[in-house]
């Protein structure tokens, strides 16, 4: 089965997530904003970096919109034979088609359906593509009578797909803002990024034999527990530790809150300094946003940055050394460590990254991205997160 996905704000990270999840032979980029995925099933809610997804229904020769539009209406009106009112939205990616021209396609489809005796509600286009919020709030792709046609212009052809759903931004926001304990100082890992990190580690790879219910994800810097929350929702048993008693308590409370609303597996949270703590095995994967150093709202002076980097380097390398002595060979990891962005957009990296191999880890190779350069950031952020995809040697 072939799916096409609309990638998130940082397409290279979204693509790497898909590659780790579905295997590199099953994922291919399609233009700059999309990817083709070959999989038996595709549940967008288990991915952090995919914004929309659809089942491929046709691959057409590249043509201007009016011609393509006639072709789509001709083919698709037949597909939509059936009863009851149908709601349809149309989104075009990879080419700037005027919203009113997309709208015309919708109107033509509506007329064709009317001739077949079926009525259709058309979602208005304010841009060539419907926003995630519009698609989500109209529940497009979630039932047979709420449809979104996704049209992707790629380098050599055009793919038409029927949406199977949009990222559930309401549920993500509720998990982020609704949980009882939040802490602006330890940082706010967005749930989307936490979900991406779990998939990026490789633990959810469809070719692995891991059964989530029998697997445990460890976060040794669990903070308020965002990674563990997302891991628990994917069905994993979760295990967290943190240096701060307050954070251990926050994670416990947040997971209790989650457990009251969803069926989740085992939860274990304990106090521990990651530099020397001994964790209980078995651990199937380690996913963590490690200590990021102090927050900065503007790029720090070089000597200040140097000082902070040294401290973070010390903690990170000692932690990695300690963990390597405990993990079985082959355990996958995804760690978010800081990289500091200056005003010209260049990054200062941890020096520990250069010693990863001597600390007992291997880089996980990627087909779609450079595994040494996966950085999650927003334009206004000084402290970016570099994602390290590793395997214990």
Ligand X SMILES: C[S@@+](CC[C@H](N)C(=O)[O-])C[C@H]1O[C@@H](n2cnc3c(N)ncnc32)[C@H](O)[C@@H]1O
CB atoms near residue 132 (< 10 Å)? 16
- Looking at 37-45, 159-167, 184-192, 357-365, which segment touches ligand X (CB under 6 A)? 184-192
Could you give the C-alpha distances from 298 to 301, 342, 345, in angstroms and in order?
Answer: 9, 8, 12
Could you give the C-alpha distances from 45 to 220, 226, 315, in angstroms and in order?
Answer: 25, 16, 34
Quickly list H helices, 178-295.
Answer: 191-201, 226-233, 245-261
Distance CA 275, CA 271 (A): 12
Alpha-carbon torsion (385, 390, 392, 393), positive or negative: negative
- Looking at 29-37, 72-80, 225-233, 256-264, which segment touches ligand X (CB under 6 A)? 225-233
* Site for ligand X contains 231 (CB under 6 A): no
DSSP state, residue 280: P
Q: What string marks each residue from 137 to 156 as x (binds ligand X by CB under 6 A) or -? A: --------------------
Question: CB 46 → ligand X: shortest distance, Å?
Answer: 19
Contacting residue, 186, 193, 264, 389, with ligand X by CB under 6 A: 186
Contacting residue, 122, 169, 243, 305, with ligand X by CB under 6 A: 243
Size of the site for ligand X (CB under 6 A): 20
Distance CA 69, CA 72 (A): 5
Question: CB 226 → ligand X: shortest distance, Å?
Answer: 3
* Site for ligand X contains 247 (CB under 6 A): yes
Quick one: tokens of 327?
Answer: 């993990």
Residues 248-307 that bind ligand X (CB under 6 A): 273-275, 289, 291-292
Question: CB 322 → ligand X: shortest distance, Å?
Answer: 10
* Site for ligand X contains 172 (CB under 6 A): no
Contacting residue, 244, 253, 326, 371, with ligand X by CB under 6 A: 244
Distance CA 251, CA 240 (A): 8
Quick one: tokens of 218?
Answer: 């460890």
List residues near ligand X by CB under 6 A.
186-187, 189, 221, 223-227, 242-244, 247, 273-275, 289, 291-292, 315
């Amino acid at each position: 089965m072939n799916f096409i996905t609309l990638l998130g704000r940082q397409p290279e990270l979204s693509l790497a997530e898909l590659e780790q999840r579905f295997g590199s032979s099953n994922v291919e980029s399609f233009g700059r904003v999309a990817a083709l995925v070959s999989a038996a099933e595709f549940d967008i809610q288990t991915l952090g970096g995919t914004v929309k997804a659809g089942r491929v229904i046709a691959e057409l020769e590249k043509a201007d919109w009016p011609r393509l539009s006639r072709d789509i209406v001709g083919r698709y009106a037949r597909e939509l034979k059936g009863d009851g009112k149908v709601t349809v939205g149309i989104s075009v990616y990879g080419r700037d088609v005027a919203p009113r021209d997309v709208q015309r396609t919708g109107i033509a489809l509506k007329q064709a359906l009317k001739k077949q005796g079926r009525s259709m509600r058309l979602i208005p286009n304010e841009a060539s593509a419907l926003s995630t919020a519009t698609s989500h709030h109209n529940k497009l792709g979630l039932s047979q009578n709420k449809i979104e046609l996704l049209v992707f212009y790629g380098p050599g052809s055009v793919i038409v797909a029927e949406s199977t759903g949009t990222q559930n931004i309401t549920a993500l926001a509720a998990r982020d803002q609704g949980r009882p304990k939040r802490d602006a100082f330890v940082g706010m890992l967005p749930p989307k990024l936490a979900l991406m990190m779990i998939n990026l580690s490789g633990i959810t790879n469809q070719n692995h034999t891991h059964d989530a219910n029998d697997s445990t994800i460890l976060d040794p810097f669990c903070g308020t527990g965002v990674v563990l929350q997302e891991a628990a929702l994917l069905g994993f048993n979760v295990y967290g530790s943190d240096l701060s008693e307050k954070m251990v308590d926050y994670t416990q409370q947040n997971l209790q809150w989650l457990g009251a609303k969803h069926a989740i597996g085992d939860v274990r949270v304990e106090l521990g300094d990651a530099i020397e703590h001994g964790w209980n095995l078995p651990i199937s994967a380690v996913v963590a946003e490690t200590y990021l150093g102090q927050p900065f709202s503007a790029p720090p002076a070089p000597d200040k940055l140097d000082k902070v980097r040294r401290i973070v380097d010390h903690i990170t390398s000692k932690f990695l050394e300690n963990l390597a002595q405990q993990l079985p060979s082959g355990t996958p990891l995804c760690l978010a460590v800081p990289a500091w962005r200056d005003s010209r957009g260049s990054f200062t990296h941890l020096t520990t990254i250069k010693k990863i191999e001597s600390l007992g880890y291997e880089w996980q190779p990627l087909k779609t991205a450079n595994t040494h350069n996966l950085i999650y950031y927003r334009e206004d952020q000084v402290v970016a997160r570099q994602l390290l995809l590793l395997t214990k040697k």
